[in-house]
Amino acid sequence: MDMDVDEPTKGQEEKQGKPIIVVLMGAPGSGKSTFCEQVMGSSVRPWVRVCQDTIKNGKAGTKAQCIESARSALREGKSVFIDRCNLEKEQRDEFVKLGGPQVDVHAVVLDLPAKLCISRSVKRTGHEGNLQGGKAAAVVNRMLQKKELPNLSEGFGRITFCQNESDVESAIRTYSGLGPLDTLPHGTFGQKSPGAKVQLGIMKFLKKTDVPTNTESTSNKVQDSNASQITGGKDTVKGTGLFTESGSMESKKGEQPVVGSAGTDVSLDNAPTLAFPSISTADFQFDLEKASDIIVEKVAEFVNKLGNARLVLVDLTHKSKILSLVRAKASQKNIDSKRFFTFVGDITKLHSEGGLCCNVIANAANWRLKPGGGGVNAAIFNAGGPALEVATKEQAKSLYPGNAVVVPLPSTSPLFCREGVTHVIHVLGPNMNPQRPNYLDNDYSKGCKILHDTYTSLFEGFASIVRTQKKVFKGSFGNLRLKLPESKDHSESGPTNHSTNTYQKIKREDLHESERNKRSKGDQAEAENDSDSNASKSNLHSDGSKNKSWGTWAQAVYNIAMHPEKQRDVVLEISDDVVVLNDLYPKAQKHLLVVARHPGLDRLADVCKEHIQLLRTMHAVGLKWAEKFLHDDSTLVFRLGYHSEPSMRQLHLHVISQDFNSAHLKNKKHWNSFNTAFFRDSVDVLEEVSSDGKAILNDDESLMSMELRCNRCRSAHPTIPKLKLHIGRCRASFPSTLLENGRLVTAPSNSSNDP
């Protein structure tokens, strides 16, 4: 019987996948057309670009024509880019309505700085809509004044905010990597507080003199992937997660994340997560078909028992047959893709390189529970360091096939401080390799029973961790999510020097303050009884300000200050009042911390009038070290100050040179924490505490997302690399506010620096 060629079979429908309509939003010059071109030029998925400037046979048309063109493409199973500005909700409503059960609706918001958009628009030639030259600046400004950022409530399944060129590059890689069967996880990505009407307060700074000249370097093309990557809003990570037809997730190593950024759906990113390899399929040579059946069977059994917890099957390569088999079988069982998915990456670097937050990882161990051998076992013991080996010995000496042992990970382990892993679960599966112990001689009847037991033991061990941590944290795993320095920073420290490594491996850049499961009984009691009423009684200062909880790793500076004699290899100076040490991740050529040794002074908010003498001592010590550096290099310029809301416990004064020439200064948050009102100059703090009894705190989170501006001439720059390049050449005088009251410390011949 002949079949109508336009009517796909059921199998063809499955192979076609679900089309996506991506509503691009952004001012003229934000790079919408370039975004489409780059994705369509490299994607294997069929895309159609709908642009109102060219919709009528290469000429400008109407919105209605765009809607009809998009509808037609979606009917054909093609995915669609809506290349219009769409800055107002009303402008995008009708495109959102094109979505439905068979069509995903996404938004990609190119929320780039106005000055950059104007620069591009002014300089371009041959624009499809003829928006170029001098008139472009006024149009961009006018359109941005009406900007309404989108919400999921409008009907979008996924919203991606791009606030710099690196974000755009990441989004391009994400959509370029989508195959015909792939979908993406829903939620809001790339912004902490989606839905604000106007995020960037840039227009008020744009005067006629701000319109870029033709001498400025600008490009409508997306910058090289080595450009600065923001971690103030999200971690700098590698790996792209793509949800496939089966509902599992596969990562593409070396690319930007879909999961793991600060704007990620909480249900996806803050849930307790177990990452596990396929047990016995590598070294122990278990049949992959049988193993995949058992994995999916046990996942289906446990996934709904674990609440919002996630299970993630991990392998190193996209060519992994076990991942492919599990994805297909999980799809057949309709397992929730938010609770179970697959991921390609190194299980010891899932967060730092893959953007995936996993607080528990499983190790395919040997029966001796010893390092070595190869594969996953060797990698996990190597990454966990001596601390993991010692902790494992405390729990068990050996392991029988089908069993698991849960090992709480000490905070000194690199896996804990770099990856956020709180537990390792060692498991031992059945062996079909005659070169290994307990060989089953291809007895798959017994082997399958053992493998069933192995996954049961693994998932029950994870369930026990989830229950324990829920009790301690009252069900919130959001606090377990880390914002980590890149792995490069951690790899610089070796595992042998305990005193140095305690600081190096626990000290963090820009971490959310959080709690861990290893708390004292007193801490547990406080956590279990922190109702609003209790908080109002016990967690408030007399002035009404709240106490702050500090995670284990945030205690490193405090521990050094209280016991400097144990940390002499990292301490530069010790007195009764202060210790001085180098910042582990300096943001400039010279960057010291002068740390108070008085208990109870966790941060600037704890300071009152009685501490004025201590503040003067800290300032004097900071000046002494700045002058020492100036004696060696008179070209340096220093500021002394405090962060309004520090990431590390114990009051500390930053002594930092103003060159900001450091590989550790990587993102907007790093820059703005030292170059906005968030950074309080020591001389101002001294005056305020002396006169008012407390310092003014500027801890508004919006300060961290402010535009990148030169600390000398205050010019704006789109990325950290461009800002650094400018700073290296800028010879402008510092702003007058910094030149007053001794806020800048320079060589003695140039300045007087008495507080």
Q: How far, in Å, are 100, 345, 622, 708 from residue 348 at the CA level?
A: 39, 9, 39, 34
- Report residue 552 as tokens: 């284990």
User: Given 611, 643, 652, 654, which residue is catalytic?
Assistant: 652
Q: Is 225 exposed, middle or buried (0-12, 13-18, 19+ CB in 10 A)?
A: middle
- Across 200-339, the runs of DSSP E, i.e. the strands, are 240-243, 249-252, 273-276, 310-315
Main-chain phi, psi angles of 546, to 5 degrees = -80, 145
Per the CB < 8 A criterion, the answer to whether 711 and 705 are in contact is no
Dist. CA 92–CA 250, nearest whole Å: 31
Number of H helices, E strands in the chain: 23, 23
Q: If we measure between CA atoms, which residue out of 430, 410, 319, 417 comes closest to residue 364? A: 430
CB atoms within 10 A of CB 475: 13
Q: Report d(CA 325, CA 748) in Å as an integer.
A: 71
Extract the tokens encoding 671.
């820059």
Q: Enumerate the β-bridge partners of residue 431.
A: 439
Compute the distance between CA of residue 590 and CA of residue 629 in angstroms, rounded to an integer. 8
Residue 151's identity, in one-letter code, is: N
The answer to whether 652 is a known catalytic residue is yes
The Cβ of residue 556 has, within 10 Å, a number of other Cβ atoms equal to 24
3-state helix, strand, coil in the chain (%, to 5): 40, 15, 45
Neighbours of 663 (CB within 10 A): 11
Q: How many residues does the chain have?
A: 755
CA distance 392 to 440: 27
Q: Find how far residue 221's CA is from the centre of its chain.
A: 25
The closest alpha carbon to 92, from 18, 21, 28, belongs to 21
Catalytic residues: 652
